[in-house]
């Protein structure tokens, strides 16, 4: 009955058009009434304490870093360097999109921001060269979802807070799976685009490559600074977010000269609006998470999955299928916040490494950004590329299947996550 009240109140509130954060509060009130423990003061206290988290301070600063990176010309220089290196090969702009997505993912951590920047710069170039627009949009969309997996990842910050898992360990554990996602896109692009009759750009001379490399070195130094600083213990993920924002602002203003004083206020407002939505979602979700624990909903779900508890692979497969289904209807952050308190007790009971589960969970939720009808990243590409959703869905399908194949590979071979994680974390 409790599970029915939880799902019924949540889905019902969403069905009548309530924002997800408000629906989560309605769900919390419904659970309190069902458990005969309704108290407005307790509800307010849990709402405030849900957002009162130092690690969550990383979210607005990573958002700001992404905005300043795009306004200050860092994104443009990363793409220019990739074009000079491999833009001349057949299908070269597709490989440029993947490489640029990997590098930009290691700076901002926001799939929407990275996808918008990639689409705005690369889509006109690819269209002019004769590439099929639907395929290009699909590739850029699939490249954009690497951002929540490679550090710094806003998804890992939110999951780490909700699950009580080390954010630094999650960051470092996400590096190799993110690279695998990029490799899968490179292979898929090679297979489907090798016969396209497109115009090739001229091979850049060594002098031109050196010039773009020197021009882009400040942008490329940022991910090294962030990951290296956390690996060395110089700063926490929250401090790394502040470093990233300050660095992106200083480089864009003083070195590249593209970031103007009048650009800072819009960038801060954009980061503030997105961060406020995320913080309210987290606060509302942690109210529901507290009541989910009180109502023992994880216990009920565990009893349903009881036959699989002793088989970690089948259990992971079942949980990932659940996340895929939920991800088609919910956006990234709400899915993380709703399912984390339900699944984490089962993960601990089964003896699954919480860091490994966290990486898998975020990879899966990132893939959800490509699945209609929600498909946030698809909507971004549609808007930037001025293309219909049905064409983008058709173009993204090969790349979506490639990312799902990576997810399946990591389920059946967990060592691909755990061994690199131990290497990067040093234990």
Q: What is the mean pLDDT of residues 190-217?
A: 81
Confidence of residue 83 (pLDDT cuts 50, 70, 90): confident
Residue with token string 């200050």: 72
Q: What is the mean pLDDT of residues 181-196?
A: 89
Structure confidence at residue 198 (pLDDT)? 65
Confidence of residue 17 (pLDDT cuts 50, 70, 90): confident
Confidence of residue 225 (pLDDT cuts 50, 70, 90): confident
Confidence of residue 204 (pLDDT cuts 50, 70, 90): confident
> What whole-number distance in Å separates Cα of residue 373 and Cα of residue 327?
10
Q: What is the mean pLDDT of residues 338-347?
A: 88
Confidence of residue 351 (pLDDT cuts 50, 70, 90): very high
C-beta of residue 91 within 8 angstroms of C-beta of residue 188: no
Q: Flag whether pLDDT at 385 surpasses 60.
A: yes
Confidence of residue 56 (pLDDT cuts 50, 70, 90): confident
Structure confidence at residue 30 (pLDDT)? 84
Q: What is the mean pLDDT of residues 179-200?
A: 85
Structure confidence at residue 420 (pLDDT)? 81
Distances (CA, A) of 188 to 67, 123, 302, 385: 30, 19, 37, 21
Structure confidence at residue 152 (pLDDT)? 82
Structure confidence at residue 199 (pLDDT)? 58
Distances (CA, A) of 307 to 262, 299, 349, 350, 354: 60, 14, 13, 11, 20
Structure confidence at residue 329 (pLDDT)? 67
Q: Flag whether pLDDT at 14 surpasses 80.
A: no
Structure confidence at residue 29 (pLDDT)? 83
* Span of 52-56, 176-180, 416-420 with lowest mean pLDDT: 52-56
Q: What is the mean pLDDT of residues 253-281?
A: 87
Q: Choose between 381 and 285: higher pLDDT.
A: 381
Q: What is the mean pLDDT of residues 159-188?
A: 93
Residue with token string 């689409």: 119
pLDDT tens readout for residues 387-427: 888 899 999 999 999 999 999 999 999 998 988 877 766 65
pLDDT tens readout for residues 29-52: 887 888 777 777 777 877 777 677
> What whole-number distance in Å separates Cα of residue 171 and Cα of residue 156?
7
Other Cβ atoms closer than 10 A to 41: 7
pTM of the full structure? 0.84
Q: Choose between 190 and 300: higher pLDDT.
A: 190
| Residues above pLDDT 90, as percent of the chain | 30
pLDDT tens readout for residues 273-326: 878 877 787 787 777 777 777 777 767 777 777 788 889 999 999 999 988 888
C-beta of residue 167 within 8 angstroms of C-beta of residue 237: yes
Structure confidence at residue 69 (pLDDT)? 84
Structure confidence at residue 373 (pLDDT)? 63
Structure confidence at residue 278 (pLDDT)? 77
> What whole-number distance in Å separates Cα of residue 392 and Cα of residue 322?
25
Sequence-ordered list of residues with C-beta below 8 angstroms from that of 398, at least 6 positions apart, any chain: 138, 188, 191, 192
Q: Flag whether pLDDT at 197 surpasses 80.
A: no
Structure tokens at 69: 């990176």
CA nearest neighbour of 102 among 48, 64, 142? 142
Q: What angle do CA 139, 185, 202 make, to 5 degrees?
A: 70
Q: Flag whether pLDDT at 96 surpasses 60.
A: yes
Structure confidence at residue 427 (pLDDT)? 54
Structure tokens at 349: 């009971």
Structure confidence at residue 361 (pLDDT)? 96
């Amino acid at each position: 009955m409790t599970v029915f009240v939880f799902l019924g109140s949540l889905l019902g509130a969403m069905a009548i058009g309530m924002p997800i954060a408000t629906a989560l509060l309605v769900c919390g009130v419904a659970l309190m009434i069902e458990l005969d423990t309704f108290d407005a003061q307790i509800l307010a206290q849990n709402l405030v304490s849900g957002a009162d988290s130092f690690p969550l301070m990383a979210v607005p600063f990573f958002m700001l870093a992404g905005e300043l990176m795009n306004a200050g010309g860092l994104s443009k220089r990363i793409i220019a360097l990739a074009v000079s290196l491999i833009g001349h090969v057949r299908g070269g702009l597709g490989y440029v999109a993947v490489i640029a997505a990997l590098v930009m993912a290691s700076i901002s951590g926001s799939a929407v921001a990275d996808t918008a920047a990639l689409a705005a710069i690369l889509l006109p170039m690819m269209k002019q060269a004769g590439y099929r627009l639907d395929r290009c949009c699909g590739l850029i969309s699939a490249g954009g979802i690497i951002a929540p997996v490679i550090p710094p990842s806003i998804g890992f910050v939110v999951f780490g807070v909700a699950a009580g898992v080390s954010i630094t360990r999650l960051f470092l554990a996400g590096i190799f799976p993110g690279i695998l996602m990029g490799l899968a896109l490179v292979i898929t692009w090679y297979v489907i685009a090798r016969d396209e009759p497109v115009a090739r750009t001229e091979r850049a001379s060594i002098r031109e490559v050196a010039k773009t490399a020197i021009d882009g070195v400040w942008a490329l130094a940022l991910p090294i600074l962030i990951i290296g600083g956390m690996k060395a213990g110089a700063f926490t993920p929250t401090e790394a977010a502040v470093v990233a924002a300050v660095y992106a602002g200083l480089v864009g203003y003083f070195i590249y000269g593209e970031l103007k004083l009048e650009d800072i206020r819009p960038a801060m407002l954009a980061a503030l609006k997105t961060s406020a939505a995320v913080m309210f979602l987290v606060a509302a979700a942690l109210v529901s998470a507290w009541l989910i624990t009180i109502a023992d909903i994880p216990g009920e779900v565990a009893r349903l999955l009881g036959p699989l508890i002793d088989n970690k692979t089948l259990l992971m497969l079942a949980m990932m299928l659940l996340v895929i289904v939920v991800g088609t209807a919910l956006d990234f952050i709400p899915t993380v916040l709703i399912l984390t308190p339900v699944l984490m007790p089962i993960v601990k009971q089964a003896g699954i490494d919480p860091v490994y589960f966290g990486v898998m969970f975020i990879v899966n939720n990132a893939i959800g950004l490509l699945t209609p009808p929600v498909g946030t990243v698809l909507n971004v590409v549609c808007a930037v590329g001025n293309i219909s959703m049905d064409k983008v869905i058709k173009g993204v399908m090969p790349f979506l299947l490639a990312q799902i194949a990576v997810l399946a590979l990591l389920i059946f071979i967990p060592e691909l996550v755990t061994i690199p994680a131990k290497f990067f974390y040093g234990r």
